[in-house]
Amino acid sequence: MKTKILTLIILSVFLSTSCSKFLDVKPAGKLIVQKGDIVSYDNLMNGSGVLGSGFKNPGSYIMLTDEIEVSDNHNTYNTNDSYIAGHNAYIFKTPYSNPINKDNIWGAFYTVTQTYNCCIDGVNEVKTPETTEEANATIAQATIGRAWSYFTASLLYGPVYKPNGTNSAKVLPYRKTSQVLAPMEDLSTLDEVYANVSKDIHSVLKNVPEVVTGVARFGKVQSYSFLAYYHLFTAKYDSVAYYANKALTMAAEQNGGMDNLFYDMNKFSWADSKVATEPDARYRSSINTAQGTIALSDANMREICLFKYIGITGLCYPSQELLGLFNATTDLRREYFFFEYDGYKGTLGGVAYNDGRRIQNFQSKVAYTSGFTYPEILLMRAEGYARTGKTAEALADLNYLRKFRHKTGTPDLNISGADNIMLEIANERRREIPVCSHKRFADLKRYTKDAGKPWSKSGITHYLRGKSFTKNVDSEYFVIPIANDVIRYNPQWGLEENTTPWSKDFNF
Amino acid sequence: MKKLSIFLILCLLVSFNTLSAQTISLNMNRQPLKVVLKEIQKHTDYKFIYNTTIVDANQLISINVQNGSLKEVLNKMFKDSDITYQISEKLVMLSKKSKTNEIERQKRSGKITDETGGPLIGVAVRNQNSNVISVSDLDGNYTIEAKEGDKLAFSFIGMETFYATVGKSVVVNVPMRTDDILLKDVVITGYQTLSKERTTGSYSIVTSQQLENKLQPSLKSIIEGQTAGVVLTKEGNLEIRGVSTVNGVNTPLIVVDGYPLIGNNVGIESVNPDNIENITVLKDAVAASIYGARASNGVIVITTKSAKKGTFNLTYKGIYQITMKPDLSKLNLATTEDYMDAELDIYNQNPNSSYSSYNSYSRIADYTYLLMAKSKGLISASEADAQIAQLRQNNSLDEVEKYLIKPKQSQQHSFSLSSSTETNQLNTALRYNKEYGNLQNNDNSRFIFDISNTWKPKRWISVRAFANVNYSETNATVEQYSSFTSFGSSSRVLPYTNMYDNSGNPVVWSPVGQRRMSTYETFAGMKDVTYHPETDLDKAMTTSNNLQARLGGDINVSFSDFLTGSIGGSWVKGTSKSQTIYDAESFVMRTAYNDGTDAKNFTTHYIPAGGKIDQSDGEIMSWVLRGQLNYKQNFKGDKHRVSAILGTEISKDTYEYTYLPTRLGYDPISATYNNSFSVYNYNKNTNNMTGSMLFGKAPANIGTISYGNNYGVRDNRFSSWYGNASYEYNNKYIITGSVRLDLTNFFGTDPKYRYKPTWSVGTTYKMAEEEYFSGLKNIFNRFNIRASYGVNGNISLNYTPYLVLAVGSYSTETSGIAYTVNSYPNDQLRWEKTNILDVGVDFAMFNNRLNVALDYYNKKSVDLIVSEQIDYSRGTSTLPQNVGGVTNQGLEVTVSGDVINNSKFKWNSQLIASYNNSNVDYYKVTRNYSSSYTYLTQMVEGYPMDGFWGVRFGKLDDKGNVLYLNSKDELVTNDKLTGADCIYQGHAKPVCEISWTNSFRYKNFEGSFMFVGKFGHTFRKDAFVGSNYNNRHVSERWRQAGDEATTIYPVLNTNGWESFYYPFADVFIGNASFVKLRDLSLGYNLPSSVVKSMGLTNLKVYFQTRNLFYIAAKGIDIDPETAEYDKSGGSGGMINQGYTSLQLRPEFYFGVQISL
């Protein structure tokens, strides 16, 4: 009987045991960041979430610039869905993209900003007094990263920015919370975006580390470059020169001298020895830089200051205008990245077509970025100098770059007059920045304000099947509209969906 | 089996009391018989034994005796009743008095035994001519008065009634057999064992006898077709009444010997099918709510065998199996001639492409290479033409089938030993099975050892302990049959590859990028890069093993006649290990070594010589602890029966795994590897160091070089309280209720969602017990109506309320270890809920000759966790939330009857039909594109869960391109198709599944066959859709204007664009319904005289065949079961529906069972 009673007691105790402590653990095996762990949030900035994965897919805006031309054959025979938006954009047939589609580029920008927001909110939640410095450094990088993303997005989704005017067009929601289900912000005007970007950068600039671990992060050099770029659009050219100079000087110090920020293309060679004799050997060969062990196609090759994905496309050829900017005999960029290869050809439905041999741009041989390269920063400084009357300094910068790009022995430029120098800087930018990227798209939109200047264009003309198509840069044709599905999710914005029928039938 | 029956006969065993007097004084007025007998036992050392089907233990007795002997008491007690008694030593057997003249009859006697030869106690023996009844004693012996010609009926619960006609002999020995049908009357829920008559829920029961003649090694496939509502899916999962979740756990909870199997690799396969006593499937809310939050998908409760009282048994069962070789022509591939014709067409369409591939050192198809080399002048035209002519002669598919593929085989060995004494029941079982696959060096084996003992040292306490040890091992070649048969432009084997010479000797070739060959030649020390699947197969192997031990037990204490309690638990510990080893001489490692050479310095190798080893280890530990009180009491005779349980349970499931870094330069003999190889540096630098390695980049076919040291853990905890109660009135009306509260460490940061009970109520009405039913009683001996309703839960282990990050690998773009957001926080995540309504009717006719069970159910699942699409301006396009809803409705019918049942021939036929229809109630997804509908199967509101959705074919245009019909019936090209143009094309899963089993027994032969049928579902037929020129229909494609009138197969087009639309066209939907002879088995028990002379108690030989033939719908030219919806498929350019699986082939089994 004693045993029975004892058993009953044990059982009763067991039955009434509370298990709240037993359950009071977070599920193991999942990285739920603990107090003081700044590093885990910092490492979010090593993920592709900050690079803009959708941004690397070509958007239709790429096809709006003067850098490219589409062949009649390509337009006729390439029926692939993804090319239709590009072809529509090329002939300014709106809507460019199918309005039922999700806007992957918009999505990519907001993936980037959300990643940075998670860093900022996360660090604020787990930081401790002991980790203040580390926390501030992470928050600073993330804040500038977020600003960069919104600024770049505004170049695509906003109209031409008027530095001395009112920019009241509503562009995008400047979201600063990582709470997914938090209420959606109202759309910011272009003025508000510019103000927010500037405020964000300057609020944290002092905490930005001088040296960062990878080229995808915003250290001091990258942040100064961003400020220089920002002021190209606000037309504060003294600030452009100031920040570009700060960026270059600091980078030169960190890398053992200015020369180490550039590849001297005179030292380049083709890896394939048959390049001299076989017409197609260039196509298959890689390029030996003879300057460091990092490949030219790597994200951290020496000329890249800030790496972010970029939209580039293979559905067109470089325009004759662009090719005409290169000196075919002395410019080494022309030799290594633009050469003749078989054009678009094939058979469809029994019909053979062939573009023949065409000069094409071989983008895969070199890493491109929508961030910044040192040559671009140098050219920003040059532009800053040229537009503030420091023509000698501007010319010196131009000639400094040219010695790396042209065959040894090519004479320096010897031109005078601010406009002449500025035109040459604008042309040099076109030679340096990725072909048909958003960079040229954005440049066209800021140059158009310099009406009457040789580097400014009021409109862009494209040709297809013997017809020409022209549209003004400062018009809705150069603004990417907010996608219908985003509008549907946010009726409070008061935007209307685009109901224009979309098709690929080109009845022109 | 007898153990269960013992529950049902009242066998009152009392301990001997030396102080008791042998005279009895009793004064009892109108007390139930059993109460009186109990009282007598207090004063004597006699035991009473009687069969409740003969003697009514509740009949009221009045007696008044002072100091009488036992005989005096008994005579007085039974004076006016129909009961008589017989005293044998200390045993009193009660039976019914004879009503006829007994003088003509003389005593007959004999021994009653079960299949194992063990005695059967308490068997009712009825002389059908005189109605005299007797009962067998503790040794199975009986005595009854009978004359020649009288018919004797021997009946015992759980056994088939045995009939014998009395001859001249005075001795009539009786061998009785277990009755499958009656055994189905016991329900084991894991918490309780109940008579089915006492329940309100919906259960299905599978007995060991049903399993015995199924010889296949997989327990899952053994269960197929045995119970209504339980189906085996194409993916090999058991499903009970459809799936009621989207992202949660979608398989039933498996409970073995009372405790759930939790943790990795602790599935139903860890149970020895030869050691199963009973499988109870709990299908509705009543049954399942006691398992609470994990019972949404139903519960399968398995009870293993235990020793029969007083017996000793040793049995061996051995089975050999062989499966016919696969017929590769059923893969529906293009012939060599058609394939080459298409390859030529492709080459002409885009001659640049092959040259680009060649230049980038990629492998291109041999025929394409010859065409390209000829046009670029790399080889002479005559040489190219000669080689092409040679290629046309080859047929690799035939050679693969002839030389590489083997028939599958398996062997199973099973031993069981059981022994029982008054206080101990020991059962051990050991099983080993090994299966050999279609390719050499592919096999898997499993070893299962079980031991269990129940010890009953005192009448009021019993202690049960059990152990289960599982060891499984799998050896698989990295390359499988699909490596040699899924022809693509860079495949090593193509339809025209010559693999064997005329004598069947392997012919080697070099399947590397053609341009690489000349580069290798310029370097010294390069390895040979020739290849042949037969010699390369065993040089790249994945082996894995898994050891796991499950220990458990419980203590059951009886506090009084109506209150018992138990404490118990189970503990699982297991380790698993998986290794993939590429031998140094494997094709992959040889080419990697070559390609990993420094372009400038051929003595530098970034990939060291030797093999490659990847390894991962896992360790699980889980436990469950439970305490439970059981209450059971009847009042006023048995007019009111009350039972209840109350319990608590806590469980913890932990898992740790480690992926070790990839090691190169591995030597299996010395078990050493190259220490200087740095995975980090390899991935950081070498992999992207264009220009440094021979061909720019690291060899692609070496696969992932893992950093390893990936380490993960899991710690899932649950804590639960539960209770249930049942009340039965007058053996007519039952009501039950249950409630359970589950807490977990996964959810519940918001307290509103933490304490969420699951519950159920149920009722049964036994109509046949009513007075008004008495007129029908001779037709329906049972007629029960059941109804139940309740809420079950389910968990999704993938989501938590916290922000969860994920650690990625080193990113060369950001120069750091990349972290990503795994899931965004949501503190409102909670259990999924399933509300289940079940209404059922069970009836038995003609004295249990025909049994019918009907069930209707409605399972409404709400709060399902689904990734709902949200505004992607919020940083993510989907967020998991408890917003999904699905309803499953169904009907289940089981009809079982003895068509013929006499002592010589027995034929039982059972038809089971299950109908399930699901409906998605809520699932919010934006589907703009047709591809949003066509990928795999889709959940669309208002339609079944696993729906096929696709586009409508219009016609081919005059260029051979496909034109589709849009929602306005206009002909459009694929780019114009939107989501709105897609239509529902049918279920991917069967709507109705039937099984029809017929079992026969004639003398010593027994046999059965089972047909299974699946109906109401569709499948996507294989088709040539423009780019997949490995398909058999490529030859029927559009080639010139006018062909569109006669073919639906489009023009060959390498861009593959059509393959995102056309495979999903309505013209390629086929009817997947089929009926198949799933199995047919024969068994023969050797005559007992022969068996006894061998010193055995039983010897049985078996034969079984599976999947002998099938009948499919009209016009379906492939086995629909092979082509059924397969989640492993995709929608890419070369995908070929119906291709991914080898057809099911007939299997043959031979077996023997020997018992000592």
Helix (H, G, I), strand (E, B) or coil at B387: helix
Structure tokens at A52: 């803009």
The chain A residue lying nearest B357, using CA atoms, is A284
Burial A98-107 (b: 16+ CB within 10 A, else e): bbbbbbbbbb
Q: Which residues of B touch A111 (CB under 8 A)?
A: 872, 875-876
pLDDT at B7 over 60: no
The segment with the largest mean pLDDT, out of A74-88, A225-239, B196-210, is A225-239
pLDDT at B989 over 60: yes
Pairwise CA distance, residues B140 & B154, whole Å = 12
Closest Cα of chain B to A387: distance in Å?
35
Instruction: Identify residue A50 by its one-letter amino acid code.
Output: V
Predicted pLDDT of residue B458: 87
Per-residue pLDDT tens for B828-837?
777 788 999 9
Predicted pLDDT of residue A29: 64
Q: Which of the four pLDDT bands, split at 50, 70 and 90, describes residue B1007?
A: very high
Please state the rounded mean pLDDT for residues B64-83.
82
Let me know: does A11 contact A183? Beta carbons within 8 Å. no
Let me know: does A63 contact A87? Beta carbons within 8 Å. yes
Closest Cα of chain B to A59: distance in Å?
17
pLDDT at B491 over 80: yes
Predicted pLDDT of residue B822: 85
Pairwise CA distance, residues A375 & A400, whole Å = 10
Whether A57 contacts chain B with CB within 8 A = no
Q: What is the DSSP string of A440-477?
A: HHHHHHHHTTSTTSTT--SEEEEEETTEEEEEESSSGG
Report chain A's C-alpha Rg in angstroms: 27
Say how many C-beta atoms besides its own lie within 10 A of residue B338's C-beta. Answer: 21
- Write down the ipTM of this complex: 0.91
Q: Do A49 and B655 touch (CB under 8 A)?
A: no
Per-residue pLDDT tens for A306-362?
999 987 766 689 999 999 999 999 999 999 999 998 888 877 767 888 999 999 988
| Closest by Cβ to A216, choosing from B719, B813, B975 | B813
pLDDT above 90 covers a percentage of chain A that reads 68
Predicted pLDDT of residue A4: 61
Q: Do A44 and B714 touch (CB under 8 A)?
A: no
Per-residue pLDDT tens for A346-392?
777 678 889 999 999 888 788 889 999 999 999 999 999 999 999 99
Predicted pLDDT of residue B10: 31
Instruction: Identify residue A320 by its one-letter amino acid code.
Output: Q
| Closest by Cβ to A299, choosing from B646, B813, B960 | B813
Q: Which residues of B touch A307 (CB under 8 A)?
A: 813-814
Predicted pLDDT of residue A478: 96
Dihedral over Cα of A424, A425, A430, A434: its sign: positive
The segment with the largest mean pLDDT, out of A72-86, A132-146, B40-54, B805-819, is A132-146
In terms of DSSP bridges, do strands B832-845 and B850-869 run parallel, antiparallel, or are they unpaired? antiparallel
The segment with the largest mean pLDDT, out of B50-64, B76-90, B315-329, B592-606, is B315-329
- DSSP annotation of B686 reads G
Pairwise CA distance, residues A337 & A333, whole Å = 6
Q: How many CB pairs under 8 A join A and B?
A: 256
Structure tokens at B104: 């003509």
Q: Which residues of B touch A348 (CB under 8 A)?
A: 349, 959, 1053
Q: Do A102 and B961 touch (CB under 8 A)?
A: no
Q: Which of the four pLDDT bands, split at 50, 70 and 90, describes residue B111?
A: confident
Pairwise CA distance, residues B737 & B743, whole Å = 20
Closest Cα of chain A to B588: distance in Å?
24
The segment with the largest mean pLDDT, out of A342-346, B12-16, B619-623, B821-825, is B619-623
Average pLDDT, chain B: 85
Per-residue pLDDT tens for B137-165?
877 888 888 888 888 888 876 677 777 88
Q: Do B803 and A33 touch (CB under 8 A)?
A: yes
Using the structure block, give the residue that is written with the tokens 């930081």: A127
Predicted pLDDT of residue B17: 34
Q: How many helices (H) and strands (E) does chain B have?
A: 21, 55
Q: Which residues of A touch B744 (CB under 8 A)?
A: 23
Closest Cα of chain B to A227: distance in Å?
22
Predicted pLDDT of residue A201: 97
With CA atoms as reference, report the closest residue to A67 among A424, A326, A340, A402. A326
Q: Which of the four pLDDT bands, split at 50, 70 and 90, describes residue B13?
A: very low
Structure tokens at B446: 């499993």
Look at A202 and B423; give whichever has higher pLDDT: A202
Distance, C-alpha B338 to centroid of its chain:
41
Q: Which of the four pLDDT bands, split at 50, 70 and 90, describes residue B79?
A: confident
pLDDT above 70 covers a percentage of chain B that reads 90
With CA atoms as reference, report the closest residue to A49 among A140, A180, A175, A142. A142
Predicted pLDDT of residue B18: 33
- DSSP annotation of A43 reads H
Say how many C-beta atoms besides its own lie within 10 A of residue B374's C-beta. Answer: 18
Report chain B's C-alpha Rg in angstroms: 35
Predicted pLDDT of residue B799: 72
Predicted pLDDT of residue B310: 67
Say how many C-beta atoms besides its own lie within 10 A of residue B777's C-beta. Answer: 13
| Closest by Cβ to A180, choosing from B352, B692, B876 | B876
Look at A133 and B130; give whichever has higher pLDDT: A133
Q: Which of the four pLDDT bands, split at 50, 70 and 90, describes residue B1142?
A: confident
Cis peptide upstream of residue A58 (ω within 30 degrees of 0): no
Helix (H, G, I), strand (E, B) or coil at B169: coil
pLDDT at B1152 over 90: yes
Q: Which of the four pLDDT bands, split at 50, 70 and 90, describes residue A270?
A: very high
Predicted pLDDT of residue A25: 66
Q: Do A15 and B713 touch (CB under 8 A)?
A: no
Q: Do B975 and A79 touch (CB under 8 A)?
A: yes
* Range with lowest mean pLDDT among A340-344, A467-471, B30-34, B450-454: B30-34
Predicted pLDDT of residue B678: 67
Closest Cα of chain A to B596: distance in Å?
17
The chain B residue lying nearest A52, using CA atoms, is B875
Predicted pLDDT of residue A5: 66
Closest Cα of chain B to A252: distance in Å?
20
Q: What's the first-to-final CA gap in chain B, in angstroms?
A: 18
Let me know: does A355 contact A73? Beta carbons within 8 Å. yes
Q: Do A295 and B688 touch (CB under 8 A)?
A: yes
Cis peptide upstream of residue A95 (ω within 30 degrees of 0): yes
pLDDT at B689 over 50: no
Is residue B1018 packed enough to be buried (19+ CB in 10 Å), middle (13-18) or exposed (0-12)?
A: buried
Predicted pLDDT of residue A98: 83
Half-sphere exposure in the Cβ direction for A110 (13 Å, CA): 25
pLDDT at B21 over 70: no
| Closest by Cβ to A27, choosing from B351, B716, B805 | B716
Say how many C-beta atoms besides its own lie within 10 A of residue A86's C-beta. Answer: 27
Pairwise CA distance, residues B715 & B655, whole Å = 7
Predicted pLDDT of residue A82: 66
Say how many C-beta atoms besides its own lie within 10 A of residue B751's C-beta. Answer: 7
Q: Do B627 and A184 touch (CB under 8 A)?
A: no
pLDDT above 70 covers a percentage of chain A that reads 91
pLDDT above 90 covers a percentage of chain B that reads 41
The segment with the largest mean pLDDT, out of A154-168, B95-109, B239-253, B635-649, is A154-168
Predicted pLDDT of residue A18: 46
pLDDT at B168 over 70: yes
Helix (H, G, I), strand (E, B) or coil at A46: helix
Predicted pLDDT of residue B1133: 38
pLDDT at B195 over 70: yes
Residues 332-391 in A contacting B (C-alpha not used; CB under 8 Å): 342, 345-350
Using the structure block, give the residue that is written with the tokens 């959940």: B939
Let me know: does B613 contact B579? Beta carbons within 8 Å. yes
Per-residue pLDDT tens for B220-264?
888 898 888 888 887 778 889 988 888 777 888 899 998 888 766
Q: Which of the four pLDDT bands, split at 50, 70 and 90, describes residue B185?
A: low
With CA atoms as reference, report the closest residue to A394 among A375, A411, A407, A381. A381
pLDDT at B582 over 80: yes
Predicted pLDDT of residue B116: 63
Whether A315 contacts chain B with CB within 8 A = no
Mutant choice from A9, A26, A42, A499 vs B, greatest count of B C-beta within 10 A: A26
Please state the rounded mean pLDDT for residues A71-90.
81
Let me know: does B26 contact B64? Beta carbons within 8 Å. yes
Please state the rounded mean pLDDT for residues B1009-1019.
94
Cα–Cα separations (whole angstroms), residue B42 to A262, B18, B427:
107, 11, 34
Predicted pLDDT of residue A506: 61
Predicted pLDDT of residue A13: 60
Burial B407-429 (b: 16+ CB within 10 A, else e): bbebebbbbbbbbbeeeebbbbb
Q: Do A180 and B627 touch (CB under 8 A)?
A: no
Predicted pLDDT of residue A81: 60
Q: Which residues of B touch A150 (CB under 8 A)?
A: none
